[in-house]
Amino acid sequence: MENRAVLLPQTNRDDWGENMMHARTLTIRIMRYNPAEPETKPYLQDFQLTEEPGMTLFVVLNKLREEQDPTLRFDFVCRAAICGSCGMLVNGKPTLACKTLTKDLPETTTLLPLPVFKLIGDLSVDTGVWFRDVSLRTESWIHTDTVFDPDAEEERMDNDVAQKIYEAERCIECGCCIGGCATANIKPNFIGAAGVNRVARFMLDPRDQRTDREYLELVGTDDGVFGCVGLMACDDNCPVGIPLRDQLAYVRRKMAQSAWNLGKTK
Amino acid sequence: MQLQKAMAHNPRMDVIVEGIQMVSGLLLVVFLWTHMLFVAAIWLGVNAFNTLAHFMDVFGLLPATVVFLILVIGAHIGAVIRRVPRQWQEQKILWRHAKLIHHSDTWSWLFQAITGTALLALAIVHMAVVTYGGIDANLSSSRVHGGFLVFYAVLLLLSEYHASVGLYRVFVKWGWVDRHSLKRVLTVVSLLTVVIGAVTLWIFYVLGANA
Ligand code: SF4
Ligand code: SF4
Ligand code: FES
Protein backbone atom coordinates (compact mmCIF):
# COMPACT_ATOMS: atom_id res chain seq x y z
CA MET A 1 0.00 0.00 0.00
CA GLU A 2 1.42 3.32 -0.90
CA ASN A 3 2.04 5.82 1.82
CA ARG A 4 0.69 9.18 1.00
CA ALA A 5 2.81 11.96 2.31
CA VAL A 6 1.10 14.67 4.26
CA LEU A 7 1.59 17.93 2.45
CA LEU A 8 2.77 20.64 4.70
CA PRO A 9 2.62 24.28 3.78
CA GLN A 10 5.96 25.61 2.71
CA THR A 11 7.14 29.12 2.60
CA ASN A 12 8.94 29.95 -0.53
CA ARG A 13 11.28 32.75 0.51
CA ASP A 14 12.02 33.72 -3.07
CA ASP A 15 8.45 34.89 -3.42
CA TRP A 16 8.82 37.37 -0.59
CA GLY A 17 9.61 40.57 -2.40
CA GLU A 18 7.20 39.99 -5.19
CA ASN A 19 4.28 39.05 -2.99
CA MET A 20 4.82 42.00 -0.71
CA MET A 21 4.43 44.29 -3.66
CA HIS A 22 0.83 43.43 -4.37
CA ALA A 23 -0.40 41.68 -1.28
CA ARG A 24 -4.09 40.89 -1.26
CA THR A 25 -6.42 42.05 1.44
CA LEU A 26 -8.24 38.98 2.61
CA THR A 27 -11.73 38.99 4.02
CA ILE A 28 -12.21 36.18 6.49
CA ARG A 29 -15.85 35.55 7.31
CA ILE A 30 -16.07 33.65 10.55
CA MET A 31 -19.05 32.10 12.24
CA ARG A 32 -19.47 33.44 15.72
CA TYR A 33 -21.49 31.60 18.26
CA ASN A 34 -21.30 31.00 21.95
CA PRO A 35 -23.44 28.11 23.21
CA ALA A 36 -23.35 29.72 26.65
CA GLU A 37 -25.32 32.64 25.19
CA PRO A 38 -28.00 30.90 23.14
CA GLU A 39 -30.02 34.09 22.86
CA THR A 40 -27.45 35.40 20.37
CA LYS A 41 -27.95 33.40 17.20
CA PRO A 42 -24.95 32.25 15.18
CA TYR A 43 -23.82 34.99 12.82
CA LEU A 44 -21.00 35.62 10.36
CA GLN A 45 -18.46 38.28 11.18
CA ASP A 46 -16.05 39.73 8.63
CA PHE A 47 -12.39 40.33 9.43
CA GLN A 48 -9.84 41.89 7.14
CA LEU A 49 -6.12 41.38 7.01
CA THR A 50 -3.24 41.60 4.59
CA GLU A 51 -2.02 38.39 3.04
CA GLU A 52 1.55 37.35 3.71
CA PRO A 53 3.72 34.89 1.82
CA GLY A 54 3.27 31.30 2.92
CA MET A 55 0.32 32.26 5.08
CA THR A 56 -1.86 29.45 6.39
CA LEU A 57 -5.22 29.73 8.09
CA PHE A 58 -3.37 28.92 11.29
CA VAL A 59 -1.43 32.16 10.91
CA VAL A 60 -4.54 34.05 9.86
CA LEU A 61 -6.62 33.01 12.86
CA ASN A 62 -3.85 33.64 15.37
CA LYS A 63 -3.22 37.07 13.93
CA LEU A 64 -6.89 37.91 14.08
CA ARG A 65 -7.08 36.82 17.69
CA GLU A 66 -3.96 38.74 18.65
CA GLU A 67 -4.66 41.91 16.75
CA GLN A 68 -8.39 42.19 16.30
CA ASP A 69 -10.53 40.07 18.57
CA PRO A 70 -9.19 38.21 21.59
CA THR A 71 -12.51 36.42 22.12
CA LEU A 72 -12.21 34.46 18.86
CA ARG A 73 -12.26 30.74 19.57
CA PHE A 74 -10.58 28.03 17.49
CA ASP A 75 -8.25 25.07 18.07
CA PHE A 76 -4.74 24.35 16.98
CA VAL A 77 -2.05 22.23 18.58
CA CYS A 78 0.52 20.92 16.16
CA ARG A 79 -0.06 23.30 13.22
CA ALA A 80 1.43 20.50 11.10
CA ALA A 81 -1.50 18.24 10.16
CA ILE A 82 -0.69 15.76 12.89
CA CYS A 83 -2.97 16.37 15.83
CA GLY A 84 -6.26 16.75 13.99
CA SER A 85 -7.62 19.55 16.15
CA CYS A 86 -8.07 22.24 13.51
CA GLY A 87 -10.71 20.63 11.29
CA MET A 88 -13.26 23.18 10.04
CA LEU A 89 -15.31 24.06 6.98
CA VAL A 90 -13.22 26.26 4.72
CA ASN A 91 -15.61 27.65 2.12
CA GLY A 92 -17.71 24.63 2.86
CA LYS A 93 -15.02 22.02 2.50
CA PRO A 94 -14.11 20.10 5.63
CA THR A 95 -10.37 20.34 5.98
CA LEU A 96 -7.47 21.17 8.29
CA ALA A 97 -6.99 24.90 8.73
CA CYS A 98 -3.30 24.49 9.49
CA LYS A 99 -2.52 22.97 6.12
CA THR A 100 -4.68 25.37 4.14
CA LEU A 101 -2.62 28.06 2.43
CA THR A 102 -4.31 31.38 1.86
CA LYS A 103 -2.80 31.56 -1.61
CA ASP A 104 -5.14 28.71 -2.58
CA LEU A 105 -8.16 30.64 -1.33
CA PRO A 106 -10.26 33.35 -2.93
CA GLU A 107 -10.25 36.83 -1.47
CA THR A 108 -13.23 36.11 0.73
CA THR A 109 -13.15 32.94 2.74
CA THR A 110 -15.89 31.66 4.99
CA LEU A 111 -14.95 29.61 8.02
CA LEU A 112 -17.50 27.51 9.86
CA PRO A 113 -17.00 24.94 12.60
CA LEU A 114 -17.40 21.27 11.71
CA PRO A 115 -20.99 20.09 12.04
CA VAL A 116 -21.98 16.93 13.98
CA PHE A 117 -19.56 17.58 16.86
CA LYS A 118 -20.38 19.44 20.01
CA LEU A 119 -19.86 23.14 19.44
CA ILE A 120 -17.64 24.75 22.02
CA GLY A 121 -17.73 28.20 20.47
CA ASP A 122 -16.99 29.91 17.16
CA LEU A 123 -14.74 27.50 15.23
CA SER A 124 -13.96 25.23 18.12
CA VAL A 125 -15.66 21.84 18.39
CA ASP A 126 -15.19 18.86 20.66
CA THR A 127 -14.22 15.90 18.50
CA GLY A 128 -12.81 13.99 21.46
CA VAL A 129 -16.10 12.98 23.04
CA TRP A 130 -17.43 11.78 19.73
CA PHE A 131 -14.37 9.69 18.88
CA ARG A 132 -14.18 8.22 22.36
CA ASP A 133 -17.79 7.17 22.14
CA VAL A 134 -17.23 5.50 18.77
CA SER A 135 -14.11 3.75 20.07
CA LEU A 136 -16.06 2.34 22.96
CA ARG A 137 -19.01 1.31 20.85
CA THR A 138 -16.84 -0.41 18.26
CA GLU A 139 -14.66 -1.87 21.03
CA SER A 140 -11.52 -0.60 19.42
CA TRP A 141 -8.97 -2.72 21.16
CA ILE A 142 -7.45 -6.13 20.47
CA HIS A 143 -9.74 -8.86 21.75
CA THR A 144 -7.68 -11.90 22.61
CA ASP A 145 -7.48 -14.77 25.09
CA THR A 146 -3.78 -15.20 24.59
CA VAL A 147 -1.97 -14.53 27.83
CA PHE A 148 0.86 -12.08 27.42
CA ASP A 149 4.26 -13.57 28.03
CA PRO A 150 6.79 -10.80 28.61
CA ASP A 151 9.73 -13.15 28.02
CA ALA A 152 8.60 -14.57 24.72
CA GLU A 153 9.85 -13.13 21.48
CA GLU A 154 7.29 -10.86 19.88
CA GLU A 155 5.21 -12.58 17.23
CA ARG A 156 6.11 -11.54 13.75
CA MET A 157 3.60 -9.91 11.50
CA ASP A 158 3.52 -10.15 7.76
CA ASN A 159 4.79 -6.91 6.28
CA ASP A 160 1.83 -6.53 3.97
CA VAL A 161 -0.61 -6.82 6.83
CA ALA A 162 1.41 -4.42 8.93
CA GLN A 163 1.33 -1.87 6.10
CA LYS A 164 -2.42 -2.20 5.75
CA ILE A 165 -2.94 -1.71 9.45
CA TYR A 166 -0.67 1.27 9.38
CA GLU A 167 -2.65 2.79 6.54
CA ALA A 168 -5.81 2.71 8.66
CA GLU A 169 -3.97 3.92 11.74
CA ARG A 170 -2.91 7.13 10.07
CA CYS A 171 -6.31 8.60 10.97
CA ILE A 172 -5.70 11.72 13.04
CA GLU A 173 -9.32 11.94 14.22
CA CYS A 174 -9.80 15.37 12.73
CA GLY A 175 -13.46 14.65 12.04
CA CYS A 176 -13.47 16.00 8.48
CA CYS A 177 -14.98 12.76 7.18
CA ILE A 178 -17.70 13.01 9.82
CA GLY A 179 -18.59 16.67 9.42
CA GLY A 180 -18.80 16.28 5.64
CA CYS A 181 -20.97 13.17 5.77
CA ALA A 182 -24.67 13.81 5.21
CA THR A 183 -25.58 10.59 7.01
CA ALA A 184 -23.58 11.53 10.09
CA ASN A 185 -25.33 14.90 10.05
CA ILE A 186 -28.74 13.34 10.54
CA LYS A 187 -27.98 10.05 12.28
CA PRO A 188 -26.45 10.66 15.70
CA ASN A 189 -25.30 7.05 16.17
CA PHE A 190 -23.71 6.54 12.77
CA ILE A 191 -20.03 5.68 13.28
CA GLY A 192 -19.00 7.29 10.00
CA ALA A 193 -16.03 6.57 7.81
CA ALA A 194 -13.55 7.13 10.63
CA GLY A 195 -15.40 4.56 12.74
CA VAL A 196 -15.54 2.02 9.95
CA ASN A 197 -11.89 2.64 9.18
CA ARG A 198 -11.11 1.99 12.84
CA VAL A 199 -12.93 -1.31 12.77
CA ALA A 200 -11.21 -2.27 9.52
CA ARG A 201 -7.93 -1.86 11.34
CA PHE A 202 -8.92 -4.52 13.89
CA MET A 203 -10.38 -6.82 11.27
CA LEU A 204 -7.03 -6.79 9.53
CA ASP A 205 -5.11 -7.50 12.71
CA PRO A 206 -4.39 -11.24 13.08
CA ARG A 207 -4.08 -10.82 16.84
CA ASP A 208 -7.69 -9.81 17.21
CA GLN A 209 -9.72 -12.98 17.75
CA ARG A 210 -13.19 -11.56 17.23
CA THR A 211 -15.35 -13.75 15.02
CA ASP A 212 -17.14 -12.68 11.87
CA ARG A 213 -20.40 -12.82 13.73
CA GLU A 214 -19.15 -10.49 16.42
CA TYR A 215 -18.02 -8.00 13.81
CA LEU A 216 -21.34 -8.33 12.06
CA GLU A 217 -23.14 -7.38 15.24
CA LEU A 218 -20.72 -4.53 15.72
CA VAL A 219 -20.68 -2.84 12.31
CA GLY A 220 -22.91 -4.82 9.96
CA THR A 221 -25.75 -2.53 10.95
CA ASP A 222 -27.45 0.68 9.98
CA ASP A 223 -25.36 2.57 12.51
CA GLY A 224 -22.31 0.89 11.07
CA VAL A 225 -21.23 0.35 7.51
CA PHE A 226 -24.75 -0.18 6.13
CA GLY A 227 -25.79 3.27 7.28
CA CYS A 228 -23.44 4.67 4.67
CA VAL A 229 -25.22 5.71 1.50
CA GLY A 230 -22.06 6.05 -0.54
CA LEU A 231 -21.77 9.78 -0.94
CA MET A 232 -18.01 9.64 -0.69
CA ALA A 233 -17.73 13.04 0.92
CA CYS A 234 -15.47 11.30 3.44
CA ASP A 235 -13.21 9.92 0.75
CA ASP A 236 -13.05 13.31 -0.96
CA ASN A 237 -12.20 15.18 2.20
CA CYS A 238 -9.83 13.14 4.37
CA PRO A 239 -6.88 15.50 4.76
CA VAL A 240 -4.36 12.71 5.29
CA GLY A 241 -5.64 10.78 2.30
CA ILE A 242 -6.79 7.57 3.94
CA PRO A 243 -8.51 5.57 1.18
CA LEU A 244 -11.84 5.66 2.97
CA ARG A 245 -13.80 4.38 0.04
CA ASP A 246 -11.65 1.25 -0.03
CA GLN A 247 -11.96 0.83 3.72
CA LEU A 248 -15.73 1.18 3.62
CA ALA A 249 -16.00 -1.25 0.71
CA TYR A 250 -13.70 -3.73 2.43
CA VAL A 251 -15.79 -3.78 5.60
CA ARG A 252 -19.02 -3.84 3.62
CA ARG A 253 -17.91 -6.87 1.62
CA LYS A 254 -16.66 -8.63 4.73
CA MET A 255 -19.97 -8.05 6.47
CA ALA A 256 -21.95 -9.33 3.50
CA GLN A 257 -19.72 -12.40 3.49
CA SER A 258 -20.25 -13.07 7.21
CA ALA A 259 -23.98 -12.62 6.86
CA TRP A 260 -23.96 -15.07 3.99
CA ASN A 261 -21.95 -17.64 5.95
CA LEU A 262 -24.17 -17.18 8.95
CA GLY A 263 -27.19 -17.85 6.79
CA LYS A 264 -25.67 -21.07 5.51
CA THR A 265 -24.82 -22.48 8.92
CA LYS A 266 -28.30 -21.77 10.26
CA MET B 1 -28.79 -4.92 24.93
CA GLN B 2 -32.31 -4.53 26.26
CA LEU B 3 -34.77 -7.42 26.33
CA GLN B 4 -37.15 -6.05 23.71
CA LYS B 5 -34.24 -5.62 21.32
CA ALA B 6 -32.71 -9.01 22.10
CA MET B 7 -35.98 -10.74 21.29
CA ALA B 8 -36.39 -9.03 17.95
CA HIS B 9 -32.71 -9.24 17.13
CA ASN B 10 -31.41 -10.55 13.85
CA PRO B 11 -27.81 -9.65 13.14
CA ARG B 12 -28.28 -10.13 9.42
CA MET B 13 -31.25 -7.80 9.12
CA ASP B 14 -29.45 -4.70 7.85
CA VAL B 15 -27.37 -6.66 5.37
CA ILE B 16 -30.48 -8.28 3.97
CA VAL B 17 -32.30 -4.99 3.52
CA GLU B 18 -29.22 -3.54 1.86
CA GLY B 19 -29.13 -6.56 -0.43
CA ILE B 20 -32.81 -6.17 -1.34
CA GLN B 21 -32.23 -2.51 -2.14
CA MET B 22 -29.31 -3.36 -4.41
CA VAL B 23 -30.81 -6.38 -6.19
CA SER B 24 -34.18 -4.71 -6.78
CA GLY B 25 -32.39 -1.61 -8.03
CA LEU B 26 -30.25 -3.61 -10.43
CA LEU B 27 -33.29 -5.50 -11.71
CA LEU B 28 -35.07 -2.23 -12.36
CA VAL B 29 -32.10 -0.89 -14.30
CA VAL B 30 -32.00 -4.04 -16.42
CA PHE B 31 -35.72 -3.70 -16.98
CA LEU B 32 -35.42 -0.03 -17.87
CA TRP B 33 -32.76 -0.63 -20.48
CA THR B 34 -34.55 -3.63 -21.99
CA HIS B 35 -37.72 -1.55 -22.10
CA MET B 36 -35.89 1.22 -23.96
CA LEU B 37 -34.62 -1.26 -26.52
CA PHE B 38 -38.06 -2.84 -26.95
CA VAL B 39 -39.85 0.43 -27.62
CA ALA B 40 -37.02 1.39 -29.94
CA ALA B 41 -38.44 -1.33 -32.21
CA ILE B 42 -40.45 1.54 -33.67
CA TRP B 43 -37.20 2.62 -35.37
CA LEU B 44 -37.75 -0.36 -37.66
CA GLY B 45 -41.30 0.68 -38.40
CA VAL B 46 -44.82 0.28 -37.14
CA ASN B 47 -44.96 -3.37 -38.16
CA ALA B 48 -41.86 -4.36 -36.24
CA PHE B 49 -43.21 -2.65 -33.16
CA ASN B 50 -46.61 -4.26 -33.45
CA THR B 51 -45.10 -7.69 -34.08
CA LEU B 52 -43.08 -7.37 -30.91
CA ALA B 53 -46.16 -6.18 -29.04
CA HIS B 54 -48.15 -9.09 -30.40
CA PHE B 55 -45.41 -11.53 -29.38
CA MET B 56 -45.53 -10.10 -25.85
CA ASP B 57 -49.28 -10.46 -25.85
CA VAL B 58 -49.22 -14.09 -26.96
CA PHE B 59 -46.81 -15.10 -24.24
CA GLY B 60 -48.61 -13.09 -21.60
CA LEU B 61 -45.56 -10.92 -21.07
CA LEU B 62 -47.49 -7.76 -20.36
CA PRO B 63 -49.26 -8.93 -17.19
CA ALA B 64 -46.10 -10.78 -16.17
CA THR B 65 -44.13 -7.55 -16.49
CA VAL B 66 -46.68 -5.63 -14.48
CA VAL B 67 -46.56 -8.19 -11.68
CA PHE B 68 -42.76 -8.20 -11.81
CA LEU B 69 -42.67 -4.41 -11.61
CA ILE B 70 -45.11 -4.20 -8.74
CA LEU B 71 -43.07 -6.72 -6.75
CA VAL B 72 -39.66 -5.28 -7.54
CA ILE B 73 -40.67 -1.63 -7.19
CA GLY B 74 -42.41 -2.52 -3.94
CA ALA B 75 -39.29 -4.21 -2.63
CA HIS B 76 -37.12 -1.32 -3.75
CA ILE B 77 -39.31 1.24 -2.04
CA GLY B 78 -39.55 -0.86 1.08
CA ALA B 79 -35.77 -1.02 1.25
CA VAL B 80 -34.90 2.57 0.38
CA ILE B 81 -37.58 4.21 2.47
CA ARG B 82 -35.37 3.88 5.55
CA ARG B 83 -32.83 6.16 3.83
CA VAL B 84 -35.15 8.96 2.90
CA PRO B 85 -35.15 11.65 5.55
CA ARG B 86 -38.67 11.72 6.87
CA GLN B 87 -38.79 14.47 9.36
CA TRP B 88 -38.87 18.03 8.27
CA GLN B 89 -35.99 18.73 10.63
CA GLU B 90 -33.77 16.17 8.87
CA GLN B 91 -34.72 17.51 5.46
CA LYS B 92 -33.67 20.96 6.51
CA ILE B 93 -30.34 19.75 7.85
CA LEU B 94 -29.62 17.83 4.66
CA TRP B 95 -30.38 20.73 2.34
CA ARG B 96 -28.28 23.06 4.43
CA HIS B 97 -25.54 20.51 4.49
CA ALA B 98 -25.54 19.96 0.74
CA LYS B 99 -25.47 23.70 0.15
CA LEU B 100 -22.74 24.14 2.71
CA ILE B 101 -20.18 21.60 1.62
CA HIS B 102 -20.42 22.06 -2.18
CA HIS B 103 -20.08 18.38 -2.85
CA SER B 104 -21.61 17.05 -6.04
CA ASP B 105 -22.12 13.47 -4.85
CA THR B 106 -24.09 14.76 -1.89
CA TRP B 107 -26.36 16.77 -4.16
CA SER B 108 -26.92 13.78 -6.41
CA TRP B 109 -28.13 11.84 -3.39
CA LEU B 110 -30.78 14.44 -2.61
CA PHE B 111 -31.84 14.46 -6.25
CA GLN B 112 -32.03 10.70 -6.15
CA ALA B 113 -34.54 10.80 -3.35
CA ILE B 114 -36.59 13.42 -5.18
CA THR B 115 -36.48 11.73 -8.58
CA GLY B 116 -37.32 8.43 -6.89
CA THR B 117 -40.48 9.86 -5.37
CA ALA B 118 -41.48 11.51 -8.61
CA LEU B 119 -40.78 8.33 -10.55
CA LEU B 120 -43.12 6.34 -8.37
CA ALA B 121 -46.01 8.62 -9.27
CA LEU B 122 -45.11 8.78 -12.97
CA ALA B 123 -44.50 5.04 -13.25
CA ILE B 124 -47.89 4.24 -11.73
CA VAL B 125 -49.62 6.47 -14.28
CA HIS B 126 -47.56 5.00 -17.11
CA MET B 127 -48.24 1.40 -16.07
CA ALA B 128 -51.93 2.06 -15.61
CA VAL B 129 -52.24 3.63 -19.05
CA VAL B 130 -50.34 0.85 -20.78
CA THR B 131 -52.13 -1.95 -18.95
CA TYR B 132 -55.48 -0.39 -19.68
CA GLY B 133 -54.79 0.50 -23.31
CA GLY B 134 -52.52 -2.36 -24.34
CA ILE B 135 -49.45 -1.95 -26.52
CA ASP B 136 -49.96 -0.77 -30.05
CA ALA B 137 -48.02 1.63 -32.22
CA ASN B 138 -51.09 3.65 -33.20
CA LEU B 139 -52.20 4.05 -29.62
CA SER B 140 -48.72 5.10 -28.56
CA SER B 141 -48.25 7.60 -31.34
CA SER B 142 -51.61 9.25 -30.83
CA ARG B 143 -50.90 9.34 -27.10
CA VAL B 144 -47.48 10.91 -27.57
CA HIS B 145 -48.85 13.37 -30.06
CA GLY B 146 -51.91 14.05 -27.96
CA GLY B 147 -50.25 15.74 -25.03
CA PHE B 148 -48.32 12.95 -23.37
CA LEU B 149 -45.00 13.98 -24.92
CA VAL B 150 -43.87 16.04 -21.97
CA PHE B 151 -44.93 13.32 -19.59
CA TYR B 152 -42.80 10.74 -21.38
CA ALA B 153 -39.85 13.07 -21.76
CA VAL B 154 -39.87 13.76 -18.04
CA LEU B 155 -40.26 10.07 -17.23
CA LEU B 156 -37.38 9.22 -19.52
CA LEU B 157 -35.00 11.78 -18.06
CA LEU B 158 -35.87 11.09 -14.45
CA SER B 159 -35.61 7.33 -14.76
CA GLU B 160 -32.28 7.47 -16.56
CA TYR B 161 -30.91 9.89 -14.01
CA HIS B 162 -32.14 7.83 -11.09
CA ALA B 163 -30.80 4.61 -12.60
CA SER B 164 -27.42 6.02 -13.43
CA VAL B 165 -26.86 7.59 -10.01
CA GLY B 166 -28.13 4.45 -8.32
CA LEU B 167 -25.78 2.23 -10.30
CA TYR B 168 -22.90 4.56 -9.52
CA ARG B 169 -23.63 4.25 -5.82
CA VAL B 170 -23.87 0.48 -5.84
CA PHE B 171 -20.49 0.17 -7.49
CA VAL B 172 -18.89 2.82 -5.34
CA LYS B 173 -20.21 1.37 -2.12
CA TRP B 174 -19.01 -2.11 -2.79
CA GLY B 175 -15.77 -0.82 -4.20
CA TRP B 176 -15.70 -2.71 -7.45
CA VAL B 177 -14.39 -0.07 -9.80
CA ASP B 178 -12.59 3.22 -9.94
CA ARG B 179 -14.91 6.11 -9.16
CA HIS B 180 -14.08 8.52 -11.88
CA SER B 181 -13.91 6.16 -14.82
CA LEU B 182 -17.16 4.69 -13.52
CA LYS B 183 -18.80 8.10 -13.64
CA ARG B 184 -17.69 8.55 -17.19
CA VAL B 185 -18.93 5.14 -18.34
CA LEU B 186 -22.29 5.63 -16.66
CA THR B 187 -22.71 9.09 -18.11
CA VAL B 188 -22.10 7.76 -21.60
CA VAL B 189 -24.46 4.81 -21.12
CA SER B 190 -27.19 7.04 -19.69
CA LEU B 191 -26.83 9.61 -22.43
CA LEU B 192 -27.08 6.82 -24.98
CA THR B 193 -30.29 5.48 -23.46
CA VAL B 194 -31.70 8.97 -23.23
CA VAL B 195 -30.91 9.55 -26.89
CA ILE B 196 -32.46 6.21 -27.86
CA GLY B 197 -35.55 7.09 -25.83
CA ALA B 198 -35.73 10.60 -27.24
CA VAL B 199 -35.51 9.40 -30.83
CA THR B 200 -38.18 6.81 -30.10
CA LEU B 201 -40.44 9.49 -28.67
CA TRP B 202 -39.82 11.72 -31.64
CA ILE B 203 -40.74 8.93 -34.08
CA PHE B 204 -43.97 8.34 -32.21
CA TYR B 205 -44.67 12.04 -32.22
CA VAL B 206 -44.19 12.29 -35.98
CA LEU B 207 -46.29 9.19 -36.54
CA GLY B 208 -49.02 10.71 -34.41
CA ALA B 209 -48.83 14.00 -36.29
CA ASN B 210 -49.15 12.25 -39.63
CA ALA B 211 -51.96 9.95 -38.57
S1 SF4 C 1 -19.50 7.42 1.90
FE2 SF4 C 1 -20.67 6.89 3.69
S3 SF4 C 1 -19.45 7.50 5.41
FE4 SF4 C 1 -18.60 8.53 3.62
S5 SF4 C 1 -19.57 10.49 3.59
FE6 SF4 C 1 -20.81 9.13 2.42
S7 SF4 C 1 -22.37 8.30 3.73
FE8 SF4 C 1 -20.76 9.20 4.97
S1 SF4 D 1 -10.39 9.24 8.50
FE2 SF4 D 1 -9.36 11.07 7.71
S3 SF4 D 1 -10.94 12.64 7.74
FE4 SF4 D 1 -11.65 11.01 9.03
S5 SF4 D 1 -11.04 11.58 11.07
FE6 SF4 D 1 -9.45 10.26 10.24
S7 SF4 D 1 -7.98 11.63 9.33
FE8 SF4 D 1 -9.83 12.80 9.66
S1 FES E 1 -3.24 22.00 14.26
FE2 FES E 1 -2.81 19.87 14.40
S3 FES E 1 -3.75 19.17 12.60
FE4 FES E 1 -4.01 21.31 12.36
CATH of residue B195's domain is: 1.20.1300.10
Picking from A184, A7, A6, A179, the residue whose alpha carbon sits closest to that of residue A93 is: A179
Q: What percent of chain B has pLDDT over 90?
A: 32
Domain co-membership, A208 together with A112: no
Position B12 scores a pLDDT of: 81
How far apart CA B150 and CA A172 sit, in angstroms, is 52
Report how many domains make up chain B.
Answer: 1
Position A20 scores a pLDDT of: 53
Report how many domains make up chain A.
Answer: 2
A90 bridge partner residues: A93, A111
Q: How confident is the prediction for chain B on average, in pLDDT?
A: 87
Which residues in chain A (181-200) have CB-CB distances under 8 A to chain B? Answer: 182, 185-186
The radius of gyration of chain A's CA atoms, rounded to the nearest angstrom, is 22
Domain co-membership, A37 together with A117: yes
Strands (E), chain A: 25-32, 43-50, 87-90, 93-96, 108-113, 118-121, 124-126
Domain co-membership, A167 together with A120: no
- Rounded to the nearest angstrom, the minimum Cα separation between A252 and chain B is 7
Q: Which one of A171, A236, A237 would you pick to mutate in the ligand 2 pocket, going by the greatest count of ligand atoms within 8 A of its CB?
A: A171
Domain co-membership, A143 together with A260: yes
Position A260 scores a pLDDT of: 87
Among the partner-chain residues A94, A213, A263, the one whose CB lies closest to the CB of B101 is A94
- Predicted confidence (pLDDT) at residue A10 exceeds the cutoff of 70: no
CA distances for B132 relative to A94, B126, B155, angstroms: 53, 10, 19
Q: Would you call B12 exposed, middle or buried from its count of C-beta atoms within 10 A (0-12, 13-18, 19+)?
A: buried
In the predicted model, what is the mean pLDDT of residues B38-42? 89
Position A176 scores a pLDDT of: 96
Give the distance, in angstroms, between the CA of residue B146 and the centroid of all CA atoms in the same chain. 24
- CA torsion sign, A183 to A188 to A192 to A194? positive
How many residues in total does chain A contain?
Answer: 266
For chain A, say whether B91 makes contact (Cβ under 8 Å): no
- Predicted confidence (pLDDT) at residue A1 exceeds the cutoff of 50: no
Report the CATH number that the domain containing residue A249 is assigned in CATH: 1.10.1060.10
Q: Is B85 helix (H, G, I), strand (E, B) or coil?
A: coil
- CB atoms under 10 Å from CB of A170, counted, come to 14
In the predicted model, what is the mean pLDDT of residues A76-85? 94
Contact call for B175 and A91, based on CB within 8 A: no
Position A229 scores a pLDDT of: 86
Residues of A in contact with B83 (CB under 8 A): 229
Position A7 scores a pLDDT of: 52
A67's CB contacts (< 8 A; 6+ apart) are A49
What does the pLDDT look like over B88-143, one tens digit per residue? 778 888 888 888 888 888 888 888 888 999 999 999 999 998 888 878 888 888 88
In the predicted model, what is the mean pLDDT of residues A185-197? 93
pLDDT level of residue A266 (50, 70, 90 thresholds) = low
Domain co-membership, A96 together with A155: no
Q: Residue B129's domain spans which residues?
A: 2-210
- Predicted confidence (pLDDT) at residue A9 exceeds the cutoff of 60: no
A106's CB contacts (< 8 A; 6+ apart) are A91
Position B1 scores a pLDDT of: 63
Residues A126 and A153 sit within 8 Å (Cβ to Cβ): no
Position A21 scores a pLDDT of: 57
- Cβ of A84 below 6 Å from ligand 3: yes
Q: Which one of A234, A247, A255 would you pick to mutate in the ligand 1 pocket, going by the greatest count of ligand atoms within 8 A of its CB?
A: A234
Q: What percent of chain A has pLDDT over 70?
A: 92
Position B106 scores a pLDDT of: 85
Picking from A96, A112, A110, the residue whose alpha carbon sits closest to that of residue A56 is: A96
Instruction: Transcribe A114-176 into DSSP letters.
Output: -SSSEEEETTEEEHHHHHHHHHHHTT-S----PPP-TTSPPPP--HHHHHHHHHHHT-----H
Strands A108-113 and A25-32: parallel
Q: What percent of chain A has pLDDT over 90?
A: 71
CA distances for B9 relative to A191, B1, B15, B47, angstroms: 20, 10, 13, 57
Domain co-membership, A185 together with A258: yes
What does the pLDDT look like over B50-80, one tens digit per residue? 999 888 888 888 889 999 999 999 999 999 8
A25 bridge partner residues: A50
Last residue of a domain, one of A91, A125, A159: A125
Query: A101 or B102, which is more confident?
Result: A101
Least confident of A105-114, A175-184, B73-82: B73-82
- Rounded to the nearest angstrom, the minimum Cα separation between B100 and chain A is 5
- Rounded to the nearest angstrom, the minimum Cα separation between B23 and chain A is 13
pLDDT level of residue B45 (50, 70, 90 thresholds) = confident
Q: pTM for the whole thing?
A: 0.83
B6's CB contacts (< 8 A; 6+ apart) are none
In the predicted model, what is the mean pLDDT of residues A166-185? 94
Pocket of ligand 2 (CB under 6 A): A 171-177, 193-194, 197, 238, 240, 242, 244
Q: Residue A237's domain spans which residues?
A: 138-264
Residues of A in contact with B102 (CB under 8 A): 91-93
Last residue of a domain, one of A96, A125, A154: A125
Q: How confident is the prediction for chain A on average, in pLDDT?
A: 89
B132 bridge partner residues: none
What does the pLDDT look like over B140-197, one tens digit per residue? 888 888 888 999 999 999 999 999 999 988 988 888 778 788 888 888 988 999 999 9
H/E stretch holding B116:
helix B104-133
Last residue of a domain, one of A125, A158, A189: A125
How far apart CA B124 and CA B118 sit, in angstroms, is 10
- Asked, for residue A133, whether it belongs to a domain, the answer is no
In the predicted model, what is the mean pLDDT of residues A47-67? 95
Position A2 scores a pLDDT of: 44
What is the interface pTM, i.e. ipTM, of the complex?
A: 0.78
Report the CATH number that the domain containing residue A86 is assigned in CATH: 3.10.20.30
For chain A, say whether B15 makes contact (Cβ under 8 Å): yes
